Structure 1
Amino acid sequence: MTVVGTVLTHSKDDFTFITKCPFKVGEFVCYLMNQNHILARVRHTEPLNDYPVEFLFDAVIDASDLAAFYGLDNNDYQYYRVSAAVVGYFDRAFNEFINPRVKPLSGTKIELADAQILSDVNRVSEGEVGSAHIGTIMSTNSGAVLSVREMVSQHLSIIAATGAGKSYTVGVIVEELMSKNNMASVLIFDPHGEYSVLSDIQNNPAFCDGDYRPKVKIVKSDQIKIRVGDLRVADFISIMDDGSMTEKMKRLFKKAYDKLKKDDKQKTRNFTKNELQETIESLRDGKNESTIDGILWRYGRVTDEKMFDDYQSIPLRSYFQPGQLTIIDVSNIGDWKQQLIADILLRHLFDARKGTDNEYYSEHQHPDRYIPYPTFIILEEAHRFAPQAGEAKSKNTLKTILSEGRKFGIGIAMVTQRPSKLDADSLSQCMTQITMRIINPSDQKQIEQSIESVSRDLIEELPSLARGQAIISGVAINTPVTVNIRGRRTAHIRGQSKDAPGIWREYKLGQDSNTIITAPSHKLDVGV
């Protein structure tokens, strides 16, 4: 390995070394102690010596020329003071870094961490089953490889400001999940309709191996049906209530719903829209005519909505299969419908996985609820479904899965550009974090409070990360690391900013080439 510096001193939290290399925050160095190479992460870099201030007054004369004129050695001004935090040595028996609890002595030689040492940053090796190669460690050619087992079982967060490469990174993660090394069961809940380009996966030879060929299923919002019998009282009221539904109306509606549900326990099917309407009608007693009429008028919002069906529901087995990516495109419907669909999908999936694992459901008796394998859901615009302030229909179900889903093999990826608007408890449940450029101070504060594994110096680096760079931390990797996200194998996801000048010019020039331009017959209106 290459010696790059010498230890000067140390403090409680880190040590300082002198070097000619302008290290960036997050880069790795190492030193030898008791025959172990100790990995350390750079926290801060600053020049060791400054030129005398008088050398800087003249903007024309170079300070180095003045130093030479006065007999000073310019090499003295080429050194940096670098502080670094000890990560530790990798113990293969424990499969983790062990901090030696002793800082290096003054005079200890600092070396550049080579590929062999940097490979210990990864929990798994590139190309093995359960691996996800998503890029290279900053300033190196060493791969950054995540453990898919840990990532999907203990949830993932992907956080980035608009334009930092968030959706692109989601695409890289999906590519890895659908590769022959994983053959995952993945569903993307897509509020903007930007992930349909990932359908390229099923026709791309890079993802095929022998008999394995990944499948991509795209579901549009008009194809989604929710069985009316699967709705809860709160769901109905949230649909029916425009702010004018009285407490008496709500009580009577709940009475009708409970009565029908009680009767339904004796049946082998759920109730229909007409049956619920008839049950509401049956509550008329001569004293509540106007109230019943008000309920029925509002209930029309349910009966008129094509999404609600008497018999069809979300086909879990069709959406979740190993080696299949399902994209739920809900881009052309409103927030409340998106939240309702997400809530019922998550609720049914949790019930199915829990029931399958506990052997309540069998393939022959419950084919629509029997899911004998883990699943992974990527939730774009996660702050819409679990907001920090206010409520969303999906919030409680999502929080339940984030806290209990690990036991039943349900993984969630929370993707957002505004972490400060995302429920803090939900974010803290994501034990692997991919954090890209974040500029907003309130968003940075939320990240610092919710993600324990990221140090303050790395948080301070978030605004300066380039597009496509990310700080990865958590259980899927052995220590936090700054990564350059690799190139995509599929087409770029739609959603990037439009090239307005280019489009204007292309349209105008194309228009003019087919138009004979004549002088105006009147004076042009040049405005005020």
Structure 2
Amino acid sequence: MSEVEVKHLGEGYMDSASLKKVGVIYGDVGTTQFTCNVIGNLEQGDYVQVYHERFGWVLGKVDEIKRKTNLTLEKAIKLQDDDFTVKEIVAATVVVIGYRDERGLLQFPRTPFNVGSIVYKAEEEFIKKVIGIKDIREKGAYIGRLYRYRKIPIYLDINVMVQKHVSILAKTGAGKSYLTGVLLEEFLKHNVTAVVIDPHGEYISLRTPSKKTKLHQEFGVLPRGYEGKINVFTPDVQLNKGKPLKFTLSSMTSRELLNLMNLDARQYLIPLRKAMDLLKTSRQYYTIKDVMRVLESEENNALQPLLSQLEYLDEMGIFDKRGTKINEIVQRGKLSIINLRGVPPDIQELVVQRLSMALFELRKRNKIPPLMLVVEEAHNYAPQQGTSSSTKILRTIASEGRKFGLGLCIISQRPAKVDKNILSQCNTQIILRVTNPNDLRAIGNSVEGLTKGSLEEIQRLPVGVALVTGGNIPMPLFVEIRPRETKHGGESVKVV
């Protein structure tokens, strides 16, 4: 082995004699990618290493594989009658990732590889070293193993996730709620304070251990439940189990109340404001029924639509004289699930808006511990088109929350329908299978370093495999998600 080779391989790396040969470079060779014929077991997404005469060992990734033949349409038609030998070659396009220099910095080779250079299957230790995959289990969330390289665990830095936000994107049935459950398990293990907006009530299953399988042993995890670390709140205690979630009516303005009821502010703002101001002068807390009594005393038939909407809000039971205190919801080291299953969409928006605003204001004043706010079905609460009362505060948290230790995790099955101002602020992105062209376009525009081959591969990802990028992950990586420790609550209902 030459001096240059020793210098760039470093201690513990094998020489080429112990590596598995998988191809030879041919054709036009650039500094960012090259083509090699495949002479071994090589698949799209595999990592390879090639020795460069100036820079030592360099890591690459197979972006595309094609089988090239000399069989034309005319020859294919004659193939049954004539004695014709088909010549073929399997060729791989490899994207160059780079090498680590003497300072440990990732560098690209500034000159192309030599034509005829041998391509080897990359060693796992070399992959970890060049990509910069580190074992940070003390402060990291263990989400799985590098896809097809199960000896390389992947950890996401929890501090970075809270400071710089997270997005989890996937089509329906691709495993986003399963993955979110894995992430929440890691938060619970590391005593991270979190609040989850749960529109379908699927994360309550975090209390219950899963059944042990062979995968648990392979990924090094054991089934367990987190009963003592989970609190559940719901606006509808008759429909869902949990502690009641109530808001104080006196903390809302008349305009906010009208927006919730989708009524014309020009027609109803003045009478509603007068009624609420009158009640504020006489008492500290008041109810929807109190507001209705004041409005009914005016005996104005034009106010009947307003009274009907107020009666609807009263039936929802979301308002009370004394609302639920935030310090009851946010408890250090615990997970609070806001179960909105069966709650009407307008009430869900109110819950997300009021709760998010309270978390942001109290976190600014350091009245509650640093925490992660997890929002499922985020396209409903922060849509790219249309309006939602919760969009503005979620934008504020996305842009300013990191300053105050309030992290945001956005989960959606429609990336193209999520507010781009929010999505662009998510530094750590976890993407499972996506097939919609608009969603793929949105992902391609927001993920740095994503190659054309990787973007195409997102459409074919098996369930349980995700593309992870950002945060402490220096480049897009495909990760096989570990099995859940707890029971998965988001399984589809079987009809037959």
Instruction: Tell me the TM-score normalized by structure 2.
Output: 0.81
- Deviation digits for residues 52-82 of structure 1, max 9, x if unmatched? 6666447879x9x953xxxxxx8x63x4222
The residue that corresponds to 2:229 in the other structure is: 215
Gaps of 5+ in 2: 1-18, 213-220, 238-243
Q: For 2:125, what is the secondary structure of its paired residue?
A: helix
Which deviations, in whole Å up to 9, do the C-alpha atoms of 1:318-376 show, x marking residues without a partner? 332343222221112111111111111110000011111xxxxxxxxxxxxx21x3211
Alignment match of 2:147 (pick from 129, 138, 162): 138
Partner of 1:47: 67
8 A Cα contact 1:207 1:214, kept in partner: no
Contact persistence 1:239–1:302 (CA under 8 A) = no
Shifted more, 213-222 versus 142-151: the winner is 213-222
Matches within 5 A, 1:441-460: 441-460=437-456
The question of 1:112 aligning with 2:111 is answered no
Count of equivalent residues: 460
Deviation at 1:255, TM superposition (A): 5.2
Distance in 1 of aligned mates of 2:140 and 2:21: 32
The 8 Å contact of residues 178 and 214 in structure 1, kept in 2 or not, is answered as no
Separation (CA, whole Å) in 2 of partners of 1:59 and 1:114: 43
C-alpha displacement of 1:13: 4.6
- Deviation of 1:437 after TM superposition, in Å, equals 1.1
Structure 2 contact 429–468 (Cα < 8 Å) conserved: yes
- Could you tell me how far 1:120 is from its partner in structure 2? 3.7
- 1:186-335, aligned counterparts within 5 Å? 186-200=194-208, 206=222, 215-221=229-235, 222=237, 223-241=244-262, 243=263, 245=264, 247-254=266-273, 257=276, 273=288, 289-290=300-301, 295-296=306-307, 298-313=309-324, 315-335=325-345
Amino acid at match of 2:406: I
> Aligned pair in 2 of structure 1 residues 59, 246: CA closer, same or farther (>3 Å)?
same
Residue 191 of structure 1 deviates from its aligned partner by 0.8
Q: Which one of 31, 34, 38 corresponds to residue 50 of structure 2?
A: 31
* Matching residue within 165, 169, 179 for 1:159: 169
Q: Secondary structure of the residue that 2:365 maps to in structure 1? A: helix
Q: CA deviation at 1:125?
A: 3.5
Q: 2:482 aligns with which of 476, 480, 486?
A: 486
Bigger radius of gyration: 1
Q: Equivalent residue of 2:143, what SS?
A: strand
Distance across 2 between alignment mates of 1:294 and 1:384: 26
Q: 2:133 touches 2:154 (CA, 8 Å); kept in 1?
A: no
For residue 231 of structure 1, what is the amino acid of its counterpart? M
Give 1:414 shift: 1.2
The AA in structure 2 aligned to 1:175 is: E
Contact kept in structure 2, 1:186 and 1:320, CA below 8 Å: yes
Q: Distance in 2 between matches of 1:201 and 1:479?
A: 33
1:123 and 1:146 in contact (8 A); partners too: no
Q: Which amino acid aligns with 2:432?
A: M
1:230 Cα deviation from its structure 2 partner: 2.5
What is the rounded CA distance, in whole Å, between the counterparts of 1:140 and 1:103 in structure 2?
A: 28
Inter-CA distance 383–485: structure 2 relative to 1 (3 Å threshold): same
* Structure 1 spans left out of the alignment, 5+ residues: 68-73, 357-369, 502-528
Q: Take 2:171 and 2:414, find their aligned partners in 1: how far apart are those partners?
A: 7
- Aligned mates of 1:259, 1:469 — CA distance in 2: 58
| Aligned position for 1:391 | 387
CA shift in 2, pair 1:102/1:130, >3 Å? farther
> Which whole-Å CA distance do the structure 1 matches of 2:209 and 2:107 have between them?
40
1:127 shift after superposition: 5.8
TM-score normalised to structure 1 length: 0.77
Q: Provide the rounded CA distance (Å) in 2 between the counterparts of 1:488 and 1:168.
A: 7
State the Cα distance separating 1:270 from its structure 2 match. Answer: 5.7
Q: Deviations over 1:441-470 (max 9, x none)?
A: 122112222333423321122221111111
- Cα distance in 2 for residues equivalent to 1:325 and 1:175: 10
Q: Is the 8 A contact 1:471 1:480 kept in 2?
A: yes
User: How many angstroms does 1:382 deviate by?
Assistant: 0.9
Q: Return closer, same or farther for 1:293/1:380 CA change in 2, 3 Å cut-off.
A: closer
Aligned to 2:241: none
User: In structure 1, how many angstroms separate the alpha carbons of the residues matched to 2:56 and 2:390?
Assistant: 50
Report matched runs for 1:175-186 at 5 Å: 175-179=185-189, 182-186=190-194
The one-letter code of the counterpart of 2:249 is V
Distance (Å, rounded) in 2 between the aligned partners of 1:132 and 1:123: 16
Q: CA deviation at 1:133?
A: 2.0
Which residue of structure 1 lines up, in the alignment, with residue 361 of structure 2? 351
- The corresponding residue for 1:97 is 106
Q: Residue deviations 1:472-496, cap 9 Å, x none?
A: 1122312101122122222233332
